């Protein structure tokens, strides 16, 4: 890892924090990401000393992050700052932690993207017109991504000595240098044997499992390119983590217990693995509504007057009934009939009126800005969200015009 230039004002603080992370066992990529986040914060503050940063400075920077990137990316950087200032407090460099009252961006729990089994079969069955060695190597990489659920960094650092083709498993060194055993199926083992039969023609000294055509270590960027190169076969933008998600989802669909999937993927907390239970529940629900005779019959008997898009949604998720009664939903809502939608709007209007009269924000207990229904913070967040929406809208329009041309 190439060290980055650190401003003299923050040389000691960032260097000490970097050494603390190294002693704690953080990976070089994690240390590099944390250092980059702190350097960006330092640049935003005019290269002032980070130990003199105030809560107002950090809150202003979080607002700047939310206007330039997604909430998930901003939350990751905020987590870096929390660790950094917590370290400074423990080290006695600051008297109070300025991050204590800085809120992290709220991010929703997005379900992981995964491929259906038919898509996996098509994806792994296609091959590019490359040199025979590269074709075998790339096929072995893709099969191992799906078979063992590896992360891209784990694939790049996999050692030849860690592979046991006789018992079909790979010893993986994951996050925090934690060791785990990842089983390898017959198909992936056969692909690895075909690759290893020609590996000696390109390198005899490298301890790494996968190498380039000149014997050098294969990079994470090159692994991404290999995975993306097959995406045309199924018409989806596939990444290494999507293959990992697909492996976990398919194991859960076929009856694997949660603890087994956690062990194979190398998750420290089982809460991380539980997201796949929601994925499989969604798939089970779709299959039930698509194939259960009573579910489809009930939909036909109702004979709702739906548009084409609503009919497609109803075919996947069943009859569209009001969440409060047995009437069908109206065209303006996904969950409510016309009556309950009107009642909901009246209730929201009365709630806003009460909050306006007492000067309270519509989203939190803080005082609202004069003449507005929101506090200063939520008003700023709403403006930033509207600005990001307009930017995405213009970008989509520009891409559509380019595609039409």
CA distance 145 to 167: 18
> Are 75 and 82 within 8 A, CB to CB?
no
Identify whether the C-beta of residue 112 lies closer than 8 Å to the C-beta of residue 129.
Answer: no
Cα 128 to Cα 138: distance, rounded to the nearest angstrom:
9
Residue 79, Cβ neighbours under 10 Å: how many?
14
**Contact partners, residue 337, CB within 8 Å, separation at least 6:** 322, 324, 325, 327, 328, 329, 330
Active site residues: 151, 175, 241, 244, 267, 276
Q: Token digits for 355?
A: 């909050």
Task: Report strand pairing: 169-173 vs 179-183.
Answer: antiparallel
């Amino acid at each position: 890892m190439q060290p980055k230039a650190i401003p003299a004002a923050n040389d000691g603080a960032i260097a000490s924090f970097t050494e603390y992370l190294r002693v704690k066992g953080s990976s070089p990529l994690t240390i590099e990401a944390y250092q980059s986040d702190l350097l960006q914060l330092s640049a935003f503050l005019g290269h002032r000393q980070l130990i003199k940063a105030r809560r107002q400075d950090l809150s202003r920077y979080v607002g700047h992050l939310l206007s330039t990137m997604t909430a998930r990316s901003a939350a990751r950087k905020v987590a870096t700052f929390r660790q950094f200032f917590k370290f400074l407090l423990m080290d006695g460099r600051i008297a109070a932690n300025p991050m204590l009252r800085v809120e992290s961006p709220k991010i929703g729990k997005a379900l992981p993207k995964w491929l259906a089994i038919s898509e996996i079969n098509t994806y792994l069955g296609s091959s590019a017109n490359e040199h025979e060695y590269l074709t075998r190597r790339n096929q072995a990489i893709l099969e191992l991504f799906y078979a063992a659920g590896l992360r891209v960094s784990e694939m790049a650092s996999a050692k030849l000595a860690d592979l046991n083709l006789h018992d079909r498993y790979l010893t993986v060194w994951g996050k925090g240098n934690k060791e785990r055993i990842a089983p390898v199926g017959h198909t992936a083992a056969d692909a690895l044997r075909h690759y290893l039969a020609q590996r000696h023609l390109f390198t005899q000294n490298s301890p790494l499992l996968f190498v380039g055509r000149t014997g050098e270590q294969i990079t994470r960027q090159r692994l991404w390119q290999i995975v993306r190169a097959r995406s045309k076969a199924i018409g989806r933008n596939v990444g290494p983590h999507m293959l990992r998600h697909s492996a976990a989802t398919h194991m859960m669909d076929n009856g694997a217990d949660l603890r087994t999937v956690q062990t194979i993927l190398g998750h420290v907390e089982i809460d991380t693995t539980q997201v796949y239970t929601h994925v499989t529940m969604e798939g089970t629900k779709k299959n039930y509504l698509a194939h259960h005779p009573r579910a489809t019959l009930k939909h036909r008997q109702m004979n709702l007057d739906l548009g084409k898009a609503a009919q497609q949604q109803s075919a996947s998720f069943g009859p569209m009934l009001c969440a409060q009664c047995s009437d069908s939903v109206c065209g303006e809502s996904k969950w409510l009939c016309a009556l309950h939608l009107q009642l909901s709007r009246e209730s929201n209007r009365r709630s806003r009126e009460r909050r306006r009269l007492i000067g309270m924000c519509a989203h939190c207990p803080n005082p609202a800005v004069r003449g507005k229904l929101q506090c200063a913070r939520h008003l700023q967040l709403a403006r930033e969200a509207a600005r990001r929406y307009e930017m995405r809208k213009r970008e989509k329009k520009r891409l559509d015009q380019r595609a039409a041309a």
